[in-house]
Chain A
Amino acid sequence: MRALGWALEALYRLAQALALLLGVFILLVILAQVVGRFLGFVVPSALELAGFATAGLIFLGLAPTLRAGGHIRVVLVQQKLPPRARGWLEGLSLLLSVVAAFYAAFHAWGKAWESLRFGDLAPGLLPLPLWMPLALLALGLSVFALALLEAFLRALVRGKA
């Protein structure tokens, strides 16, 4: 049980580290483009790369943001309820979130796989294989789904106690 918790924690940290790296990457690639305009060189596909990295940053950041309590939801109804009913509602909302995240992660992997199979390339100067950024998206969603599942199970255990 403890090993599982440790492994999950490592996974969240990995996702967070990747998201931070993508943030630095976006900054550098755009700055290189700005500098290049003045010095007369072109950074190939800089905008596409920055856009892909933004998507990667968003999805890899989902789980760490969840753990930091950063995602938005409406808690007004829950706050108004007695503790028991609140626990039920919390469980139900987390269960729905888990289902949504796993569904999205599953189909994101599917899309990445399709793109690898057909050899889809990004439009623009650099013929970047699209499966790479798509795999980042799928990875981020998967870690997010696991984080939500962990939160759901913890809520379940709390409810029993």
Chain B
Amino acid sequence: MPKPHRLTRRQFLGRTLTAGAALTIVPRRVLGGPGYTPPSDTLTKAVVGVGGMGRAHLAYPGAALLAVCDVDDGHLRTALDLSGPGVKGYHDFREVLERPDIDIVHIATPPHWHALISIAAAEAGKDVWCEKPMTRTIAEGREVVRAVGRTGRIFRVNTWFRFEDPFYGFGSEVRPINKVVRSGLLGWPLKATIGAATGFDWKFYWSGRTNLRPEPVPPELDYDFWLGPAPWKPYHPHRVHGTFRGYWDYDGGGLGDMGMHYLDPVQFLLGKDDTSPVEVWADAPQQHPDACGSWRRIEMRYADGCVIILDGENRDRNAAFLEGPQGKLFRGFESDIPGLRDRIAALPDPELQVTDFAEAVRTRRRFALNERNGHRSCTLVNLGKIAVQLGRPLRFDPDKQEFIGDDEANRLAGQPMRAPWHL
């Protein structure tokens, strides 16, 4: 299973190489016997965007790698070195989508490309495994939902805490928390606080730099293609690989990077997979028009009174992760409700979801975190970004997915793309 972050390069290479070796398709005549997977049943995949996270995708299990694609020749060469024989390299993702023998397209480009490639992949009949954040704008997310829906593709976003792994520093998986919420022991509505006190420490590294002195584009990088739908701006290495998250044109700082990891499980716990908040408010220093900066606090309120607080400065030192009118749930599953663990142990487990992507692809069943709920949780990220940028409280219509009475916020929710790219 993919684990996030903080691997050293050495560990990373070691892991990638072993996983890569396991991926080799052994022909039937060699393996034989029962239990083998006939090659025709082997799912196949391509990875688009093979810098940073893309390299991890090479080794994700479940499908055999056939193609890698990147607009940086250096990245492409490295990925080809890592992925062994039989894998072909591409510069243009559209050529990858034309290959009929590829089932799944992994998208690990910067976020400003996620929507276009997801839609094109769905239109081309591919299933999609897309990095977080799902899309850079709310409008892009809506189009991905439509395209995946009308083409009947299977889609997943690459975060998984709603169905497995202890939930960052919280010290528990989501499943038992879900049972607590459904038991009604906490009451309703709930307030979820995300900050150090509740086990979730925000990443603040991702800030952009201002006053960049333009530098020549390195020969291995097709900068125009890398920008694609994003506005054209002079090249500087800090705008691209590894540090692109610091710029609004491509992502949204720490919120873009970690927001979906933290927010998706909360949305799931609150049962808000098919709606969005009606109010959002951010306390942040003024944002540079180009470079993302930090923020102190973001609050989002749903129509039924449920509230999500992103405590960026970890001010709420005694906050509960979940707080309802009748009880609280703290980090490490502490609670003011006596015997909580035993009480929920008696409750039935929630209905099983499809949490194996290959299985979802084979059985054509919706993956646990798919384009619809993924778009809703990415909307939380995008609402937060816009609130931070505009620095004023915003009202949102979760059905129309538009801001109410704020043209400018709506302009940020659906920014035009640079020609010839279009949704």
Q: Judge: A and B partners, yes or no.
A: no
Chain A residues with a Cβ under 8 A of chain B: none
Chain B residues with a Cβ under 8 A of chain A: none
